Copies of this chain bind each other. A is one copy, B any other.
Amino acid sequence: MKFAAIGIGFLAFLAVLLFGVERSPQKEQVGKIFNEALTEGQCYEMLDVLSNSIGGRLSGSPQAAAAVEWAKQTLQSLDIDSVYLQECMVPHWERGEKEQARILSDWIGQEDLPVCALGGSVGTGDMGLTAKLIEVAHVEDIAKLSPAAVKGKIVFLNHPMDKAHFDTFHAYGECTGGRYNGAPEAAKMGAVGIVIRSLASGMDDYPHTGSMGYQKGIEKIPAAALSTNAAEFLSELLKQDPDTKLHLRMTCKQHPDALSYNVIGEIRGSEKPEEIVVVGGHLDSWDLAQGSHDDGAGTVHAIETLRLFKSMGIKPKRTIRCVLFMNEENGQRGAIKYAAEAKAKGENHIAAIESDRGGFAPRGWKVDAATEGQIKANVDFISEWIPEFREYGVYDVEHGFSGVDIKHLKDQGTICLGFYPDPQRYFDYHHAPNDNFDKVNRRELELGAGTVASLAYVFTEFGKAE
């Protein structure tokens, strides 16, 4: 699919080169959008404010409310056709006091490890819990253990991300099942808690959080993540001293669901306003850092797209709508609400673009849709534009996962388009205390905005391929 489509794009481009077909004004517009994003861009300044003045903004937190207000005001300042909030109820989980994971070993004595609770975990009680450990490499291995070996212990899931994949999201995807399902799987076998190796590309001292879940009827046990360095160390220590115990203390709390909002702004289409192109990112983030890459970057990519349309005087033929989704990280409630309302209103979302892979230099697009035919037609359609995009590093268009928020629109016939920047650094920061503004490069962020805005422009001009 991938290469065939790109091949066709290339043949079209070769034809242009060889036979001197002229560039359309629309094709020239792509370069102009990138030029504006790089020379007059505002997304870096926006992200500075969201990161440094608001910071981490977990659903239900005061900072999430501040982010909603900031996003609304920022969109209003663009003088676009409408800006509004869409209500949604979101989970409200709080981490509580700084977590503690202390090794107790007859071999090395005690040592505190970098740790954080996984999002949604129960606490340990004020005095914590203390238990021996049993290490497994994969979540599927837990059920293969004897219950006697697990009972009363803390399961230590030590599953490293595979470094061999260029696409770190591929490696991440191989590990997320363990983070999400590890706790109930361990509880079924009688474990009293679970600690996992952080899902990070490399070796570092940061614990990386992320969502986890429980299963009905299965005891809720505490779940936490150790830094990759700590996991490596603990694994070695267990070889030396299998009786090593871990003291784990977390004071997390689940509050009642809270009222929050998706923030939406749009420019109505001049010719087919009923056909909608969404550009989106998620406004919430985890609480350990500023959430600058995840997903401050996507948030400002989406806002910047509308700002570029306005500042460049682009009047889109179809409606372009910026949707800043709430609660992507631990519930997707905003996305579910948005898709449900779209369906209830009978809105026609022809395409949805999501930026939620960080603010890095662009490489391409992941295209998804409800049918094989839609996927192929739209991979081919975008590939025709690659000669314009390629100058800015965008060359790779293929079928793939689009994004957690927009996927809910897929069964409404929407073409779902996931912005794919270079993925090498994302999992150094993802869900960790270092996902801060200082990790964002201005030009990389701006090129991402140019990429998102350009593709949004193509779809507002031409609609989706059928």
In the complex, 15 of the A-B residue pairs with CB atoms within 8 angstroms, ordered by the A residue number, are A3-B387, A4-B14, A7-B10, A34-B166, A35-B164, A38-B164, A38-B166, A166-B391, A166-B393, A166-B447, A202-B442, A393-B422, A422-B422, A424-B441, A425-B444
Interface positions, chain A 346-400, Cβ under 8 Å from B, are 361, 363, 387, 391-393, 395-396
Task: Please give the distance in Å from A451's CB to the nearest CB on chain B.
Answer: 11
Q: Which residues on the B side are within 8 Å of A10 (C-beta)? A: 3, 6-7, 10
Q: Is the CB of A422 within 8 A of B361?
A: yes
Task: Please give the distance in Å from A126's CB to the nearest CB on chain B.
Answer: 39
A201 within 8 A of B: yes
Q: How far is the CA of A11 from the CA of B9 in the complex (A)?
A: 12
Q: How far is the CA of A337 from the CA of B3 in the complex (A)?
A: 45
Interface positions, chain A 30-53, Cβ under 8 Å from B, are 34-35, 38-39
A363 closest partner in B (C-beta): B393
Task: Please give the distance in Å from A352's CB to the nearest CB on chain B.
Answer: 26
Q: How far is the CA of A163 from the CA of B446 in the complex (A)?
A: 11
A127 within 8 A of B: no
Q: Is the CB of B393 within 8 A of A443?
A: no
Interface positions, chain A 149-169, Cβ under 8 Å from B, are 163-164, 166, 168
A243 within 8 A of B: no
Q: Of B17, B391, B396, B425, which is within 8 A of A443 by CB?
A: B425
A13 within 8 A of B: yes
Task: Please give the distance in Å from A174's CB to the nearest CB on chain B.
Answer: 15
Task: Please give the distance in Å from A12's CB to the nearest CB on chain B.
Answer: 10
Interface positions, chain A 272-305, Cβ under 8 Å from B, are none
Q: Interface SS of chain A: helix, strand, loop or mixed?
A: helix
A9 closest partner in B (C-beta): B10
Q: Is the CB of B166 within 8 A of A392?
A: yes
Q: How far is the CA of A441 from the CA of B360 in the complex (A)?
A: 13
B-binding residues in A (CB < 8 A)? 3-4, 6-7, 10-11, 13-14, 17, 34-35, 38-39, 163-164, 166, 168, 201-202, 361, 363, 387, 391-393, 395-396, 422, 424-425, 428, 441-444, 447
Q: Which residues on the B side are within 8 Å of A7 (C-beta)? A: 10-11, 13-14
Q: Which residues on the B side are within 8 Å of A17 (C-beta)? A: 3-4
Q: Which residues on the B side are within 8 Å of A6 (C-beta)? A: 10
Q: How far is the CA of A17 from the CA of B361 in the complex (A)?
A: 29
Q: How far is the CA of A441 from the CA of B13 in the complex (A)?
A: 35
A422 closest partner in B (C-beta): B361
Task: Please give the distance in Å from A61's CB to the nearest CB on chain B.
Answer: 31
Task: Please give the distance in Å from A310's CB to the nearest CB on chain B.
Answer: 20
Q: Which residues on the B side are within 8 Å of A444 (C-beta)? A: 424-425
A167 closest partner in B (C-beta): B391
Q: Is the CB of B163 within 8 A of A38?
A: yes
List 17 additional A-B contacts (Cβ < 8 Å) besides A3-B10, A3-B17, A38-B164.
Answer: A3-B13, A4-B17, A7-B10, A7-B11, A7-B13, A38-B166, A166-B391, A166-B447, A201-B443, A202-B442, A361-B422, A361-B424, A363-B393, A395-B396, A424-B441, A424-B444, A424-B447
Task: Please give the distance in Å from A308's CB to the nearest CB on chain B.
Answer: 14
Q: Is the CB of A163 within 8 A of B422?
A: no
